[in-house]
Every structure is written in C-alpha cells, then in structure tokens.
Amino acid sequence: MNAIASRLLRWYDQHGRHDLPWQHPRSAYRVWISETMLQQTQVATVIPYFQHFIARWPDLHALAAAALDDVLAAWSGLGYYARARHLHAAATICLREYAGELPRDLAALCALPGIGRSTAGAIMALAHDRPQPILDGNVRRVLCRHRGVRGWPGSASVQQELWTLAAAWLPTARCADYTQALMDLGATLCTPAAPDCTACPLREDCIARNEDLVAALPERKPGKPLPQRTTCALIVRDRAGRVLLQRRPPVGVWAGLWSLPEADGIDTAQAWVDRHARVGEVETLHEIPHVFSHFRLRIHPLLWRDARAKAVIGDNADLRWHAVEDLPTIGLPAPIRRLLEEIT
C-alpha cells in the first residue's frame, strides 16, 4: 500500500466519520442516493433528507415504482431538482435493464442519468470495495493543496491532472475506507476556510502548507458578474383559500415542479389571470431575490384574492388548485414555498 493511503487509513481509523446513516449498511443503492444528495449540499443538510427518502423508498424497486411528483416533493428544499428526476429515471432503467440493481460496471453506471464519473467511482469503491478514484469537491481541495495544483479545478486541463493524481493515490486494499477517509479529510480538516493543518495526516509533504499557499488553493473560477433576470410570480387564491399552481416545463429552471404561474410584467400577468379567473384588484408584494449558480433572479409577487375559476383551468393538466395546508406534500421551489407560507 502506498504511503499516502497508509497515512490516510491510520488517521481514518481514529478520526474518520463512521456513523453516517448511509454507511449502515453501505449498499450500492444507499451510496448512490447519498452521493447524489451530497452534490453541492452539506452533510448536515442531507442527513434528514436521506433518512426520510430511504424510509419511504428503501430500495431501487420502490423508487422506480414511485410517482415522480412524490420524489420531487421529498426533495423539496435540497435544490438542484434535476438530481431527483435523474434518480427516478435511473431507477426505472435499472428495473428494466439490470434486474432492479445498479450495474457493477463503471461505464454502465456512468451511462445512467445523473451519474458522472465521480459518483460512479464512489459507488464502486464504497459499496463494492473496488479501487476507483473519485473527485468530489472535498477531494479536489485535498489534491490541489497537497500537490500544489494551480488553476481552476473546473477547467478541463486541471481536472485531468486531478484525476491522474486521484488514481495514483489509490490503494489495492480497503478501498471503501480509503475513499471515505479522503472525503472525511476534506470535510473535517482540509476545509475551505480555517483548515486544521496541524492535525492533517498529510501535512509533512503538503505543498500548500509548506509554501504558504493554503488560502490560495484551490484557485477560484475566474469571476464575472452573474446576469440578472426578473419575473412576476402570480398568486391567485380562490374563496376557499386555495392557490393556483402551474407545472413547470420539463427542462430549464425548476423543471417539472409545481410552482406559481409567471409573467414578464404586470400587464402580461393581469392578462393571464383574466383569461383563467375572475378576480378583483391586484396586490403588489415585496420583491424576493434568489440566486442560482448561473444567474440572479428577482421575483415580483402579485396577489389576487377571491378568484373564481374559468373553465379553461379545468382543461389544462398543468394547472390546478391546491389547498395551502397540503403544500408540503408536493415539490415546490424553495423561494416559492417560503413566499406562500408568508402570505397564509
């Protein structure tokens, strides 16, 4: 076993995380669900979602049989909803093509919706104890600092360098523990801010520590201002207090979720509402800012009360009235859920 892996494993045996819910048991299905949830989401946030998800859909058969709306509802609040849609789609494929199991072949795993090289490697290593490199955010940070890798880790050339390093560090035994150790090191010691270098098992030959580059590595993505977008969110409530929801398109922001109808301005919004319901005066609510990874959104909520539906609503499967008390049962974008909670 190489020296890097030996030091990591000794540290992991004493200081690693051994009580995460997806470690008991560490099955391929549970690893897959947890790794998908952990993409761009902190462990503390993921744990209750994972526990609820596994309690409801304990295996791939159950997930494939679930309604997509129910899966999206269980995901509500985690963000990046494409992850939930990909889980459901991949489960359906596995039920049809792999006898209800995740394939054990790296290429076959990577061919499934939402599973990239790092997630596939984590499934192979953690669930099957096979030597496969991973390259999540924590691992990238450890590699960049230890080997002094310059450049933004998201660029193709730097990513290739990091994959080569990750593969070179792999042991031939205890692959599952080694992979968890590497992730734990980045999560608990080699953190983005205020890393605890004195406790790190790799400190002696860490280039970033020895050359005072810890704060500079990994290098950030070359900055540019996020574009700004605005939209009007239409809150139409009937006399029973129900709110009119519209299903989002199957692609794009919040794809497939139920949300509020939108318009690009107050005149367009009023025209849309008049086509679908008889309403009184509109109320303008406070603007809500929301930041996505690739743009900033300014939401202008408009509220109509005591609406009476027109027949056109019943003819549209993507429009429906929903009781406010039942909103937690469906997948709603987080800012829309908070907005509706504030006005009820």
The tens place of each residue's pLDDT in the chain, 344 residues long, gives 689 999 999 999 999 999 999 999 999 999 999 999 999 899 999 999 999 999 999 999 999 999 999 999 999 989 899 999 999 999 999 999 999 999 999 999 999 999 999 999 999 999 999 999 999 999 999 999 999 999 999 999 999 999 999 999 999 999 999 999 999 999 999 999 999 999 999 999 999 999 999 999 999 988 888 899 999 999 999 999 999 999 999 888 898 899 999 999 999 999 999 999 999 999 999 999 999 888 999 999 999 999 999 988 888 899 999 998 888 888 899 999 999 988 86
Sequence-distant (6+) residues with CB within 8 A of 344 are: 241, 324
Question: Two tokens at 35?
Answer: 């790794």
Sequence-distant (6+) residues with CB within 8 A of 232 are: 262, 263, 264, 265, 266, 268, 269, 299, 300, 301, 302
Count, residues in the chain = 344
Dist CA 64 CA 260 (whole Å): 28
- pLDDT computed for residue 342 by the predictor: 87
Question: Two tokens at 323?
Answer: 């009781």
Catalytic residue selected from 35, 219, 262, 325: 35
The residues of the chain that CATH labels 1.10.340.30 are 3-133+169-188
Question: Two tokens at 96?
Answer: 């049809």
CA geometry: angle at 330 spanning 63 and 238, to 5°?
A: 155
Dist CA 235 CA 168 (whole Å): 55
Q: Structure pTM? A: 0.88
Q: How many helices (H) and strands (E) does the chain have?
A: 16, 9
Sequence-distant (6+) residues with CB within 8 A of 174 are: 5, 9, 129
- pLDDT computed for residue 197 by the predictor: 97
SS3 of residue 103 by DSSP: coil
Residues in a beta bridge with 112? none
Q: Which CATH superfamily is domain 3-133+169-188 in?
A: Hypothetical protein; domain 2 (1.10.340.30)
DSSP assignment of 133-173 equals ----HHHHHHHHHHHT--S-TTSHHHHHHHHHHHHHT--SS
Question: Two tokens at 324?
Answer: 């406010």
Q: At what angle do helices 137-147 and 156-168 cross, to 10 degrees?
A: 80
Cβ atoms of residues 8 and 182 within 8 Å: yes
- pLDDT computed for residue 1 by the predictor: 65
Q: At what angle do helices 68-75 and 43-56 cross, to 10 degrees?
A: 150
Is 35 among the residues known to form the active site? Answer: yes
- pLDDT computed for residue 278 by the predictor: 95
Q: At what angle do helices 28-37 and 43-56 cross, to 10 degrees?
A: 140
* CATH for the 228-343 domain, from 3.50.50.60, 3.90.79.10, 3.30.565.10, 3.30.70.270: 3.90.79.10
- pLDDT computed for residue 314 by the predictor: 85
Closest by alpha carbon to 27, among 95, 85, 79, 100? 100
- pLDDT computed for residue 294 by the predictor: 87
What kind and span of H or E run contains 275? helix 266-276
